[in-house]
Structure 1
Amino acid sequence: IAPTVYSIIYGVELPLPLTFAPAVTAARQRGRWIDHLIRLVCVAGVGVPSYFVGLLLIMGFCLRLKIFPVSGYGPTFFNNLWHLFLPALTIGIGVTPILARNLRATFIQQMDKDYAIACRSRGLPESYIFSRHVFWNSLLPTVNLLGVVVAFLIGGTVVVENVFNIPGLGNLLIRGVLTHDQFVVQAVALLLAVGVVISNFAVDVLTAILDPRVEL
C-alpha cells in the first residue's frame, strides 16, 4: 500500500508548480502568442497516455542520462522518494494540462469581475489585484476539480506502477487479473475506492477552510 500512497501524494504535489506557472502566465498574457502556445500544449498533453510519458522519461532520464533508477522502490524513505520521482512526474504530467486549463479560465473569469474592475478604477496595480484578490478567489474551483483529478491519479497508478515495476496496489491488481485471483482484485478495488472517498472528503474539508460560506 505504501508505494501507491507515496506515488499518489507525490503525484499531487509535483504538478502544482507545473500548473500555477503556465496558468498565471496564460491568464496575464491573455490573447497573446504565449497564451495560445500554453493552451496548445495543454490540449496536446491531455491526449498523451501516461504509459507513453513514462517510457519517454525512462529512455531520457534513466537509460541515457542515468540520473534516476529504471524501476524498483528502494529500501529507505529518501531512497523511495528518489525511485518514485519519475512515476510521480508521469502521473503529474497527465493531470497538469487539465488543472492548468481550468485555472487559466478561472483566473480570466475573476479578472473580469466587478471587484477587479473597481480595484483598477482606484488605480491599484494589476499585479497587486491579481496576487491579492484574483489568485485566492480562483483557488476554490481548482480545489474542487482536484478531487476529481485525485480519483484519476488513483486509477493512473495502476498503469504507471507496471511501467516502472513498483510493488504497489496497481502492480498487485494486474497480477491478480492475470492469475484470475478474484479475491485480490476485489480487495485492491475496495482499497482504491476507499482512497477515492478519503480524497473527496479531504477536498470538502479544504473547500470549507478556503470558503467560510461552505459548511460541512
Structure 2
Amino acid sequence: MWGFLGRRVLHSIWVLAAIIIVSFLVIRLIPGDPVVQMLGLQATPENIAAVNEDLGLDLPMGQQITSFVQRAFQGDLGTSIIKRAPVNDIVFDRLLPSVYLLLYATVLALIISVPLGALSAIYRNRVPDQIVRLTSMVSFAMPQFWLGLMLILLFAIQLDVLPSGGYGEGFGGILLHLTLPALTIGLYLAPQLMRTLRSSLIEAIDSDYVEAARSRGYRESRVVGKLAMRNALVPLISVLSINIGFLISGTVIVEVVFQVPGLGALLVQSVLNRDYPVIQGLILVFGAMVILVNILADAAYAVVDPRVRAGMAAE
C-alpha cells in the first residue's frame, strides 16, 4: 500500500507542474494590465516599464514560467503585484477559513445524507423514499448563490438566529458565522451522497451475505445497520474525493455571498485586480488540496476495504 501511495505522490508532482504551467498561460489571457491597475491611469510609460522590469513581467513567457515553477517547488509563490507582500503570507492568512468551511460543510452533508439515504433505501419505492428523492433533486437543482441568499433571508433576517456572514473569533464564533455558508455547500453535496448511499445500501441489502445473515436469525436492524451499512458507506469516500473540486469552486461563490475571508473571496478580489502571482498561488493551493484529498481517499479505501488493500499490494 505504501508503495502505491508513494507512486501517487510522485505522480502528483507532475500534475502540480502541469497545473502551474496551464494556469500561468491562462491567467495571462485576463484582459487588463496589472501594473496599470497598481499605478493608476496617470502612470507614465516610463513608470510602467520600470515596474514591469522590477516584477519580471518584461521577461519572455518561457523564462517567467520556468522561474515561477522553480520558486514554487521551493515554497516561494512570489510577491503580490498589488499588495507588494509575499503571496505565501497572503494565501495562508486566508487558508484556515476556507478549510474550516469545507470541513464544516462536509460534516453537515454527511449528517443530512446518511440517515436520509438509509431511510430511502430501507423504504425503497415507498412514500418515504419518494419524498427523500424529490427533496434531494430540488436541493441539488437550486443555485448555490440563490440558496445562500434564501438562507440569509430566513435565518439572519426573518428569524434573526444566525449571523448573515463574516468570520467570528474563537471556536464558537467561527462555528456560528460559518453555519449558513456551510449549510449552503452541504445542501449541494448531500443529495449526491444520499443517492450514492441509497444505491449502494440497496445493493448490499439484496446481496447474498446479507441474506445469509438473515437466515441465521439475526435481527433486521443489526443486519442493515451493521453489516449492510458498513459496506454501503465505502462508495461515499469516492464521491467525496470526486466532488472536492466542485466544493472548492462552490466556496468561491459562497464566500463572496457570505463575506467569508477565505481563499475563494481572495481569488475573486485578485482576478479583479489582475494580481497574477496571487491568482497563480491560489490555483496551485487549490490543485494541491484536490490532490491531497484524493491521496487520502486512496488511503481510506485501503483501510476500510481489504480487497483494495490487497490490490494496492499487488501493484
Q: What is the TM-score when the length of structure 1 is the normalising length?
A: 0.95
Q: Which runs of 5+ in 1 are unaligned?
A: none
Q: Could you say which residue in structure 2 is the equivalent of 1:25?
A: 119
Structure 1 residue aligned with 2:173: 79
* Alignment map for 1:31-180 (pairs within 5 Å): 31-180=125-274
After superposition, the CA RMSD in angstroms is: 1.2
CA contact (8 A) 1:87 1:161 kept: yes
Deviation of 1:149 (Å)? 2.1
Shift of 1:162: 0.2
> Percent of aligned pairs with the same residue?
39
Structure 1 runs (4+) greater than 4 angstroms displaced? none
Give the secondary-structure state (helix, strand or coil) at the position aligned to 2:306: coil
142-151 vs 105-114, which deviates more?
A: 142-151
Cα distance in 2 for residues equivalent to 1:205 and 1:5:
20
Partner AA of 2:262 in structure 1: G
In the TM superposition, residue 54 of structure 1 has moved relative to its aligned partner by 0.7
SS state of the match for residue 14, structure 1?
Answer: helix
Shifted more, 100-109 versus 28-37: the winner is 28-37
Tell me the distance in 1 between the aligned counterparts of 2:124 and 2:305.
Answer: 27
TM-score, normalised via structure 2 length: 0.66
Query: Mean Cα displacement is larger for which, 114-123 or 44-53?
Result: 114-123
Q: CA shift at 1:52, angstroms?
A: 1.1
Letter matched to residue 116 of structure 1: V
Contact persistence 1:12–1:150 (CA under 8 A): no
Q: Does 1:182 align with 2:182?
A: no
- Unaligned regions of 5+ residues in structure 2, if any? 1-94
How many residues are matched? 216
Stretch moving more, 20-29 or 66-75:
66-75
Q: For each residue in 1:150-207, what CA deviation from the matched residue of structure 2 results, as whole angstroms up to 9, or x when unmatched?
A: 2221111111000001111100100111122222211111111111111111111111
> Helix, strand or coil for the counterpart of 1:124?
coil
Kindly provide the amino acid, as one letter, of the partner of residue 260 in structure 2.
I
